Structure 1
Amino acid sequence: MKTVGNDLVRSQLHQNRKWYIGLGILLIIFGIILLASLPFATLSAVFIFGVLMMVGGVLHFIAAFKIFEGGFRWLWALFGVLYLAAGYYAFNTPVKTAIVLTNLLAIVLIIAGVIRIFNAVLFRALPGWGWTLFSGLLTLVTGIIILKSPDAPFWVLGLFLAIDILFQGINYLTFASYIKHEVPKSSAD
């Protein structure tokens, strides 16, 4: 009985392989386009942030009045207002939002770098601690460069978005190749 389920999964993977290839190629093209126009990619990232904040605000309101009661209801409603305000701010002031988000990203990278460096020093007796130290230094320096660069808000978020989309495309193509070469076709085919 178990082989029937496995055969079905294998068959579906092979049938959907062309979709993985198409989606992978499309995402790679989008990633390259975004890399070529980082300010546009950054603006896209800000608008995605705005949409997510608006959706989060609506969901908090739904939770406040459909799930929670008493004081928690008003706390969730307050979160809904804050999320909606953040989304509204992102749509009405995309450049300022890009500056704020880029600075927050830089601060998080700096903190993460310091924590990794501290962990590397703390665990220096273990093998591989040097890689943790290197990673921490690289993360720390990246955060500092982003924070000190006056034009960073116009390209950093776009770069992160473009690279993410590009690698998602590569991931889909790799998965399609894996299906072709490593997943046997079902016995029903």
Structure 2
Amino acid sequence: MKRRLLTVTATVTLLLSGCSVDWQGWAGMKQQSKALPYRESGFFSDDRAMRQPPPGTVPRDRRGKDRFFLLGKDGPDGGFVEGNPLTLTREVVENGAESFEVYCAVCHGVLGDGRAQVARNMGLREPPSLVDLPPHPDGYYYEVISRGYGLMAGYEEKLTPEQRWAVVAYVRALQESQRARLEDVPPEARPLLLKEGTP
């Protein structure tokens, strides 16, 4: 009986210690100082509450994925990888198209040709046409999408690595579609294209 009473007392004490009850000068967890996201914090020398991950650490969502997949670079020299690590399927390209239309088409145009209202309104420099770029490896496009380039912001925080690689696949599809000749189209699809091109 005595043991049970001690257990109940200890449990109640632990539960109350997390409440905002002022017990012996301790106001509980509700009143403790804490760092809130995007707020200042005098605890750190740069006065920022949000911290960068320690060097060499890997976020949980990136465990088990190699450098090639996460950075678009490979080898000791850190050169860009040539190919896309995703298995290219229609679904992957369509997923890339969805992300492209949300994040990229506003500036680069729906066809990737740089023709967009936002692009026309940019005073400093218009976004380039993605279909007229010099040849680059897939890893280069992945890094630009991740980290940004020039005035373009990076989308590493908005798109997962899989989504960024899917956008790369879609950009490649856009490039091929804009450079394709009628002879490159499968014979069964040519009548449809010819019909659409007729006034």
- Specify which structure has the higher proportion of strand: 2
Higher relative contact order, structure no. (Cα contacts within 8 Å, ≥ 6 residues apart): 1
- TM-score, scaled relative to structure 1: 0.29
